[in-house]
Amino acid sequence: MTNQEPFIAAAAESEGTRGGISRRSVLLTAGGAASIAVVPQVASQSVSEGGPASSMVRVRLAVNGTRHELDLDTRQSLLDVLREDLGLTGTKKGCNQGACGACTILLNGRRVVSCLTLAAMHDGARIETIEGLEKNGELHPLQSAFIEHDGLQCGFCTPGQIMSAVGCIAEGHAGSPDDIRFWMSGNICRCGAYPGIVAAVSDAAKRV
C-alpha cells in the first residue's frame, strides 16, 4: 500500500461508492488527466516559441534639438528610451502607469506621460525634456520660479511638474490659480508642495 492509498480508501468510504468507484475518484482522475494533457502542451509551446517575440525598428527622434537615430524594441516606451538609451535621467520613472505625471515631457509641443508612449509610434518626433529648458547657462523662467517660490521639496516630481507647466502656459491655461490647479491636476506631488507650484507657474506665466 502506498502512502496515498489510505486517504483514497477513506474518501471512498465517507462518500459512498457505486460499483467500487466514488464520485471524488472520478473527479480526481478526470482532473489529473486534463492536467497531464494541458501541461506538456503549454510547456512545449513555451519552449518552441521562446516567449514573446520582439522586433526592432529604426526610430528618428529630435530630443532637445539633437537628432538621434536609434534601433529600438517596438515595446520600448519613450521614458525608457530617454533614460536608458539616451542617458537623459531628468525625466523620472514614478508609477510607470501614467498616473503620477513624473515622466511628463513635451512631444511635438504637447504634454504626454512618456511611460505610456511607445517610441516606435513617433518616428520623426520632436521631444523636449527638462534637460533642454536651460539655454546658454540660464535657467528657464519656470525653473527659476520653482526655486523662488519653493515649489519643490524632495524634487522627484519637479521635472514632470515643470514640463507640464511649460505646456500648461503654452496652452493658455495658466490665467488663474484655479485654472493652474485644474490643468496641472495630472501631476502629483507627494510632498504636498502645491501652493509653491501654483505660485511658481502663475509667476512664470507672466515672464514667458
Q: What is the CATH number of the domain that holds 61?
A: 3.10.20.30
Backbone phi, then psi, for 90, in 5-degree steps? Answer: -65, -35
pLDDT value at residue 94: 97
Q: Are residues 127 and 139 in the same domain?
A: no
Q: Are residues 158 and 146 in the same domain?
A: yes
Q: Are residues 146 and 125 in the same domain?
A: no
Sign of CA dihedral 132, 191, 171, 108: positive
Eight-state DSSP code of residue 137? T
User: Range of 45's domain?
Assistant: 5-49
CA angle 93, 54, 105 (to 5 degrees): 25
Q: Are residues 175 and 195 in the same domain?
A: yes
Number of domains in the chain: 3
Domain boundary among 87, 110, 132: 132
pLDDT value at residue 98: 96
pLDDT value at residue 168: 98
| Full-model pTM | 0.74
Residues of the chain with pLDDT under 70: 1-53
Q: Which residue has the cell 493652474?
A: 180
Tell me: the pLDDT tens digits for 120-163?
A: 999 999 999 999 999 999 999 999 999 999 999 999 999 999 99
pLDDT value at residue 51: 53
Tell me: the pLDDT tens digits for 56-69?
A: 999 999 999 999 99
Q: 141-180: b or e for each residue (b if 16 or more CB lie within 10 Å)?
A: bbbebbeebebbeeebbbbbbbbbbbbbbeeebbeeeebb
Domain boundary among 132, 154, 171: 132
Q: Are residues 117 and 145 in the same domain?
A: no
pLDDT value at residue 207: 85
> Strands across the sheet with 66-73, in order?
66-73, 56-63, 125-128, 104-107, 110-113
